[in-house]
Amino acid sequence: MRAVSLLAVTIAVCWSPGAEAAPPAAPARTLAELDAAFAASARDLARRATAAGAAQLATLIDQWDPPRPPGRQMAFAIPPRLEKPATIAGAAEESIWSDFVAARRARAAGLFEHAVFAAGAHDRQPTRDELADPPEGPRPPLPQRSCAALELVQRTLRDDPEHERARLAGGWVKRGDAWVSAAAVRHLDRGEVFDPEFGWLPAARLERYRAGERYDAGRWVPAAEDEAKHRDLKHAREFHGDHWEIVTAVPLERAGRLSAQLEQTRAVWRQVFGAFAWEPADLERLLAGRVRAVARTPHAAILCRDRDHYVSELARLEPRAEGSEGLYWLPTKTIWFHAGQDGSGAAGPDPVTVHHEGTHQLFAEARPELDRVRHLAGERCGFWAIEAAGCYMESIEPASFGWTVGGRETGRVPDARARLAEGFFVPLDELSGMGREAFQNFDRLADLYAQVAGLADFLMNGADGALREPFVEYLVRVYSGTADPDTLARLCKQSYAELDDAYRRHLAGE
């Protein structure tokens, strides 16, 4: 079972004083022109690197722009600083590297201009050129382009990890030569150090942890003694990560692995669904530098010893917990996992479960203004979209540049195709009218989960993402309790029958 959750994306809006600025002018160069200029520079630089005998540098330059995987989204891993390869040596290679960085920064500057312009699309009329020659085919159903704007911000940071405005918009803060999360700054300012196995700890305490000691109930004990102790949740350990605080009945190292998986979920979620966290006008102000992002309270997670421990603890909260592997419990805004069938599994929770339940938590806690209505999320109708988004994030796969998300061959979408071929299909007009109870009590629930996974891929990636903005806006309406059974059709400007037909064609690869 995947329980409903209502981001504390760990950022909140703070207004800067001053009058509203004028809308940004259209960028001087199109995205195609920016990419063409960079590609020409990269070809020349790769030739120079090859001539200089710098084969590794030539390969890096030649492969910098990865091919976009068909039907999938790309999410980039953004390093904390501009990282120069250790293999670069000599004046010739240094010169080529410097020119490569300059070419990347030139494109990044143009990409960010486009991000700012796209963020303002919600409140402006199309330009004369856009009306005469739409850059991406027919006009999209909604004027807002929040998803596109955030995608351009991530492309900006991949080219130039030092781009200040893009970093500040993403909630990063400069410390020394690295950009760190606003959440990490709180720990750094207290003199704490982060270790992937033990989390954030005071520097002196971390030294003793690394030396094989553990602090327990006011005294230091050997790590083996601490790990042998049977823990319940009242006497659990605590792992403090950047964006999650994990109460754990198993050793900290396993909580550290869970923390890393959740941070990956968050990194991808911010690029795929991050527009959910912002009203379009607020996103426009953020990218224009008129508001700033600040840290918020970390998310809460619990890691139980084993499955029996997990079920026994959750049984008093959720009777159907026995059928789940992870659960986001809305009333306490806490995500629950277990360390394995018997607690001996070193890997901990299945990453697919972590991605799904972590997605529920991120959506639920993204917008503080929805706290008072979070209990309404999907209760009356549209509950399927909450689960569809979780299923979509199950498809995260690692890639050389970070991750890919979605695709007809990933996650549960192959099951959706199989069920459709067998004749199982719930029309969107019926599905969109289901509330939480009707959805969770559906007699073929596993098949329904497969279908909503297929629908998520269709709405996020079908027709080159044309319905992505409407789907994210639909999620806002569902989580705020303001959706009605016809909301998605109105946002997409298509009837449900038309969307059903397009969904079938998407799964067929047409």
Percent of the chain exceeding pLDDT 90 equals 80
- List the single range of 16-25, 386-395, 456-465, 481-490 with lowest mean pLDDT: 16-25
The answer to whether 392 touches 385, Cβ cutoff 8 Å, is no
Question: Is the pLDDT reported for residue 129 higher than 80?
Answer: no
Domain with CATH 1.10.390 in the chain: 379-510
| Mean predicted confidence (pLDDT) in 411-416 | 97
Instruction: Check residue 88 and give its pLDDT.
Output: 94
Q: What class is the 379-510 domain?
A: mainly alpha
- Taking the C-alpha atoms of residue 460 and residue 151, their distance in angstroms, rounded to an integer, is 13
What is the edge-to-edge ordering of all strands in the sheet holding 402-405? 73-76, 402-405, 397-399
Instruction: Check residue 23 and give its pLDDT.
Output: 66
- Residue 62 φ/ψ, nearest 5 degrees: -65, -35
Question: Is the pLDDT reported for residue 341 higher than 90?
Answer: no
Amino acid at 444: R
What is residue 481's three-state secondary structure? coil
- ∠469-182-180 over CA atoms, to 5°? 95
Mean pLDDT for the chain overall: 90
Read off the pTM. Answer: 0.91
Buried b (16+ CB within 10 A) or exposed e, 449-468: bbbbbbbbbbbbbbeebbbb
- How do 199-202 and 172-175 pair as beta strands? unpaired
Q: Quickly state the pLDDT bin for 18 (edges 50, 70, 90).
A: very low
* Share in percent of the chain as helix, strand, coil (round to 5): 50, 15, 35
- Taking the C-alpha atoms of residue 507 and residue 408, their distance in angstroms, rounded to an integer, is 7
Instruction: Check residue 150 and give its pLDDT.
Output: 97
First to last CA, the chain: 32
Question: Is the pLDDT reported for residue 319 higher than 60?
Answer: yes
Q: Quickly state the pLDDT bin for 232 (edges 50, 70, 90).
A: confident
